[in-house]
Amino acid sequence: TADAVGSGAGTCASAVGSPAISPSPTFTTPSTGVGCDESAIPLLQTEGSATPVTGNGGVIDKVANFEGSIGYAVLGDLRTRQVGVFERAATVSDDTYWAPIQRADGNTPSTSTTYDDPNIGGLSGLLNSGPKGSSCTSANPRNLPGGSDPTSADWSPVSAVSSTSGYGLCTLTYMLVWDDYSGPYSAPGNDQAAEERKARTVKDYLAAILDPSLGLGQASLQAADYAALPAGTRAIALDGAGKVGWQKSAGGGGGNGDTGGGSGGGSGGGSGGNQPPPAKPSNAFTAAKPRVEKGKILVTVQVPGAGNVRASATAKSKGRSVALGSAASTRSSGGTIVLRLTPSAAAKKLLRKGSLKATVLVTFTPNGGEGNTKPLTITLKKGKY
């Protein structure tokens, strides 16, 4: 399962003309010396290409260049994307600015006469030399999930907007991380020791941006036009970060599933000699014949326990293999999984010309076990996928 770590770095002030979300906190190499070479990280999906991320840049540029326009953007992005455009010198009057928001008072619509700026310092924050930081220090998100593990619960109802005590467009920043990285990254051929080190890097990175005692991420937010997390929300996020591990179900290699810590157990004791290694979990599974539904290849898989299931479809065209689509899912227990393979651009192009006989490789890798792959076939009709 994946833990939704509430607010990876801080709270954001969303301004009319500019909201604010978190910068990229610097990761410091942990004392264990564990890090990772990003160039060596294998791609889970090799088809397609990455899309560059520009944050709110496009919106900011439009508002800056078109008179009379209004937009929403991150406060931190707003200052750095159009330097000097939304700020001004103390002696200059300017009609390009971020707008204050009427404070909520429990009435619909609000009858409050108080208007809050997205930045701390009020009007002085509009100046080039004004104070940095979002006006979200008093924002307390409502509807936080409870239970034994709130990080894996539904966070969609959580909101900090319409605050009665401060700026009304504050939001959280989220990160999605695995609580057990051995599931999605234990595919055959992967360097398991390297993958475990990468998982430890994720854990240490989360600690760096969330733990205020380290003086790193939370301490750097105001200077980047963000606000630190409220204590209650931060505690939930830190608890989620603490759950990140490796082969947690196996109980070894990481001291109770904590990557990089402890020895995870020993062999034998006293005069009993070495104990036999525990039996590996079953990787047996069943998969129904693939079918096409609403433009996607559907593969139904039945697995015996927790683990990762992935499927990839290929076809031959003019002597070369063409990737048609892929999908993956991670289970915390046994059951039925339906994988939906979205067609690649190459697949659509080929199917406009004629039918294809595709091979679908389905692999189940149980947590702490070895992967098992089964080939399936399906004929894709012209224009039907």
pLDDT of 41-71, one tens digit each? 344 333 444 455 566 788 888 888 888 888 8
Residues 6+ apart with CB under 8 A from 139: 11, 160, 163, 166, 167, 170, 227, 230
- Would you mind telling me the total number of residues written for the chain in this entry? 385
The tokens for 151 are: 């990080």
Its pTM stands at 0.52
* Percentage, residues of the chain above pLDDT 70: 72
**Mean pLDDT of all residues in the chain?**
75
**pLDDT of 215 strictly over 80:** yes
**pLDDT of 361 strictly over 90:** yes
- Determine contact, residues 322/313, Cβ cutoff 8 Å: no
153 half-sphere exposure, CB direction, 13 A CA radius: 14
Helix (H) / strand (E) containing 79: helix 75-81
Query: 4 pLDDT band (50/70/90 cuts)?
Result: very low
The count of other CB atoms within 10 Å of the CB of residue 141 is: 23
The rounded distance, in Å, linking the Cα atoms of 285 and 308 is: 12
CATH class of 286-380: mainly beta
CA 94 vs CA 17, 88, 192: distances in Å: 14, 7, 58
Structure confidence by residue, pLDDT tens digits, 293-322:
888 899 999 988 888 899 998 988 887 888
| 181 vs 36, residue with greater confidence | 181
**What does the pLDDT read at residue 257?**
38
The rounded distance, in Å, linking the Cα atoms of 60 and 71 is: 7
Query: 278 pLDDT band (50/70/90 cuts)?
Result: low
Query: 268 pLDDT band (50/70/90 cuts)?
Result: very low
CA 380 vs CA 154, 213, 295, 350, 359: distances in Å: 37, 57, 10, 10, 10
Distance of CA 341 to the CA centre of its chain: 21
> Residue 329 burial by CB count (10 A; 0-12/13-18/19+): exposed, middle or buried?
middle
Indicate where the chain has its CATH 2.60.40.2550 domain(s).
286-380
- Determine contact, residues 345/374, Cβ cutoff 8 Å: no
